[in-house]
Structures are given as structure tokens and as C-alpha cells.
Amino acid sequence: MSATGDLLVRGGTLLTLDPQARVLDASDLLARDGRIVALGAGLEQPPEARQLDARGCLVLPGLVQGHVHLGQTIFRGLAEDRRLLAWLRERIWPLEAAHDRDSAYWSGLLGAAECLLGGTTTVQDIGIGPEAAGLLEAIAESGLRAVAGKCLMDDGDGLPARLAESTAACLDETEALAERFHGAADGRLRYALNPRFALSCSGELLGEVARIAERRGLPVHTHALEQRDETAQVRARYGGRDEIELFRDLGLLDSDLRIAHGVWLPRRHYGELARRRFSVVHCPGSNLKLGSGIARICRIRRAGIPVGIGCDGPPCNNRLDAFEEVRLAARLQALREGPGSLPGVEALRLATSEGARALGLESEIGSLEVGKLADLVVLDDRRPELLRAPGVDPHDAVVFGAAAACVRHVAIGGSVVVEEGRLLGLDEGRIRREAAAAAARVARRAGF
């Protein structure tokens, strides 16, 4: 699925999401060897260029989901009606412990298919513990751009024996996987170190992650400050410290650190975190479903901390529709801070330009600008929910109107991966069949 040749996207309304959020009406986008080389009206079609019809359609940067668990896609519906810790201990961990190589692989491809069909072109996936390689193979083959790695766990209340790997074994495996997958799939896959959260990791593991991150120049992706009872248990386990204080003491704040959630991120840490390479990935759908709370993302952004967005895992959302997540973020901030506190264009930045910055990829993706990778989504303007009067801000039309079902075409690095709403590089029927068999097998093995 490597990008070759030219791609011409013809005649759309381009929402560039560049620093000025310019909108280019009736314009074309030309990509060469995976990167955008021209934007404008009436571009000449190079010979043999692949052409995508976008006349009358909105074209935007491919959406970036900064926190997902594609390895949980086949657990959808198997962990309802619980708060975080019970959700993990009673349902999710037993299911993850029941994965085999094929179930991890097909779960990953099913999740990737849903992402691609919904306009998500980049994910940051926190992975699974055992069978991580199967999931990483699926992500690499899917066509998605990804930051991904093995989920690291060595110690925690209620952690099944198979997930509680020895500290050394789990770190050795993640380094071996980093060797194999960092830069794989034509550079689309980048490796990250993913300690799950402070309640499933020993202090020794977290400290070693900081050292490996520095030695290998890898980012660190974890969960933190999702629920109050979680942080209460972190304080009890780690001498009264919250996650940020613990991470500071263990050297993790010196890494390129991305935390999912941050619902209860204390304001007293904002100033320090804004000076670090640190970002928060907002997961509003998951935060509502598990009863976690509403993250103060307007305040966090005002402090200068980048905020991305993600659907989190299919069992806590239960969809991987980034448009729905963006809409939810805007609505929740209207409730929390007042209508207009997160306008349409700013909400859309969470899944584009700022979402890219949260993942350290802002020079490569997140906006439609010459020199960036040609990751883009074309929305189908025949959808009734996108019909608008002249003068309506198209960012508002997308944020408050669009859904995965509006996606017409998707390209990643100039390669078309979805055309007219159909996956090109993946066999959707086979993925559905294999994933269904895997879901049944894993649920049975977990005793559900």
C-alpha cells in the first residue's frame, strides 16, 4: 500500500485546518509520492494521476485519534454498566488474557476498518500485553498511520496471571517489538512505550520505561487521572502521590509523554506540564459511559497543553467514530464552560492539527498544506445532514453535522484506502467473519 505517483482530488471545498483555518472553495489538491504539492483552483491533471471526484464535497485532513484500543474491538458489548476499575478487573482484563494471536490480529483489523471507513487516518493505540505482535501486524497491514506498541503490565490488584508479566520479560519484548515495528509499513507505524496505568505497573517498570524512552527516543503513552477512585488508589499505593507527581519522580515527565483522559488533572500541575513535552488525549464518549467526568479541556488548552481526542476502546464507547467524539467534546464544553467555549473549528482541531501536535506529528499531518503528507477525507455532500445555507461555517457543518456515514473517500499518504464508502485494501467480509469467530472464542475462553 505504498504511495506511488500522483493523486488529484478535484473540485472540493478544502478545510485546510492550517494556522488560519483557511477554507478554499472549489479547489483541487495534488499529491505526489504521498505528499501534498499543490492546492488551488483548476490545477492541471498530470498524466496518469489517480483522480478522486470531490466536486461539491468538503475535504478535510484525515482525522487523528490519539487514544484507541484496537485490540479490544471484539469485546464490544461485553463490559457494560461498570465504572473503570470494575470494568477492567471483571471484564476487560479476563478478555485480554484470553486473546490468541489470531484474535488479536482480527480484532485489530476490524477496528482499523471501522476507523478508515469513518475518516480516521491516524491512531495512537495503547496495545495489548500478550499477543501484542498479532495486533501490531494488523495495524501495520491495515493502511492506517499509527503510533502503537505493546501494553506494559507487571503488577496490579486483580490483574490476571497471564497479564502480569515479569518486569524484565515485558520490557525485553517491547524493545524487540520496537526493533521490528518502528518505521514499519513504509514508515506509517511508529513505536511507543505503553505502560497501561499506575495501577497495573510497578514503580520499577515505570522508571525503566523512562530510561528506554530516553535511550531509544520513543514516546510514552499511558492512562492517567481518569477517575477519582483510580487516583485515590494510586495515592494509597505510591505514598500519597498523584500520577503526575509519581511520573515526575520516576523521570517520565522528561519523556515525550501522552496521557489519555486527564479528567481529574489538577490545575496546580498545568504550568509545569505546559513546559514539558506533554499532551492530554480527551476521550469524552468513554468518560461519559464509565461515569468518569468531563475533562477541563478548555482550561488545559488555555494553559498551553496540547489536547488530542480519541474514542478509547470499543467496549467503553462503543464506536470508533471520531466525528461523534469531536461533536461530543464541543457539546460537553458548552455544558461545562458555556456555549461557544469550544467553537466548531477549535473542536475540529482536536482531531486534526492539534491532535497531530499531541502525537508529535504536527510537521507531517493534521492540516492540508503543501509539504505535508496527503492524509485526507472527502465527505459526501449528498448527505442531507450536511446541506447548509450559504455563509454557514463549514467547520460547524462538520462538527455538528457529520458522522462516519458521511465519509466518501479517504487517502493516507496519497494512497486511496476508501473510495465511494468502500474499503480498497482490506477484505471487509473476511474481517467480519474472522472477527466474529474470534469474539466468540475469546468470550468463551474468558468464561463469559
Helices 203-216 and 167-181 pack at an angle, to 10 degrees, of: 30
Cell 487523528 -> residue: 64
Cβ burial of 199 (10 Å; 0-12, 13-18, 19+) is buried
Please identify, using beta-carbon distances, which residue of 223 and 357 lies nearer to Zn ion.
223
Q: Cα 62–57–365 angle (5° rounding)?
A: 20
Are the C-beta atoms of residues 32 and 39 closer than 8 Å to each other? no
Please identify, using beta-carbon distances, which residue of 312 and 375 lies nearer to Zn ion.
312
Please identify, using beta-carbon distances, which residue of 74 and 260 lies nearer to Zn ion.
260
CA-nearest of 69, 143, 68, 141 to 99 is 69
- If one asks whether residue 312 binds Zn ion (CB under 5 A), the answer comes out as yes
Cβ burial of 255 (10 Å; 0-12, 13-18, 19+) is buried
d(CA 228, CA 8): 50
CA-nearest of 123, 64, 144 to 365 is 64
Q: How far is the CB of 226 from Zn ion (least distance, A)?
A: 8
Q: How far is the CB of 260 from Zn ion (least distance, A)?
A: 5
Please identify, using beta-carbon distances, which residue of 260 and 326 lies nearer to Zn ion.
260
The span of 170-178, 236-244, 312-320, 427-435 binding Zn ion (CB under 5 A) equals: 312-320
Q: How far is the CB of 380 from Zn ion (least distance, A)?
A: 31
Please identify, using beta-carbon distances, which residue of 312 and 324 lies nearer to Zn ion.
312
Residues in contact with Zn ion, total (CB under 5 A)? 2
Q: How far is the CB of 96 from Zn ion (least distance, A)?
A: 12
The span of 10-18, 33-41, 253-261, 372-380 binding Zn ion (CB under 5 A) equals: 253-261
The span of 36-44, 159-167, 171-179, 260-268 binding Zn ion (CB under 5 A) equals: 260-268
- If one asks whether residue 125 binds Zn ion (CB under 5 A), the answer comes out as no
- If one asks whether residue 96 binds Zn ion (CB under 5 A), the answer comes out as no
Q: How far is the CB of 68 from Zn ion (least distance, A)?
A: 8
Q: How far is the CB of 67 from Zn ion (least distance, A)?
A: 6
Are the C-beta atoms of residues 362 and 356 closer than 8 Å to each other? yes
End-to-end CA distance of the chain: give it in Å, rounded: 38
Q: How far is the CB of 170 from Zn ion (least distance, A)?
A: 18
Please identify, using beta-carbon distances, which residue of 10 and 278 lies nearer to Zn ion.
278
Nearest residue to Zn ion by CB is: 312
d(CA 313, CA 381): 30
Largest Cα span, the chain: 66
Please identify, using beta-carbon distances, which residue of 170 and 260 lies nearer to Zn ion.
260
The span of 53-61, 107-115, 143-151, 309-317 binding Zn ion (CB under 5 A) equals: 309-317
Does a cis peptide bond (omega within 30 degrees of 0) precede residue 318? yes
Helix (H) or strand (E) holding 178: helix 167-181
Residue 379, SS3? strand
- What DSSP designation does 340 have? T
The span of 11-19, 137-145, 257-265, 426-434 binding Zn ion (CB under 5 A) equals: 257-265
Q: How far is the CB of 223 from Zn ion (least distance, A)?
A: 5
Q: How far is the CB of 14 from Zn ion (least distance, A)?
A: 33
* Residues forming the site for Zn ion (CB under 5 A): 260, 312
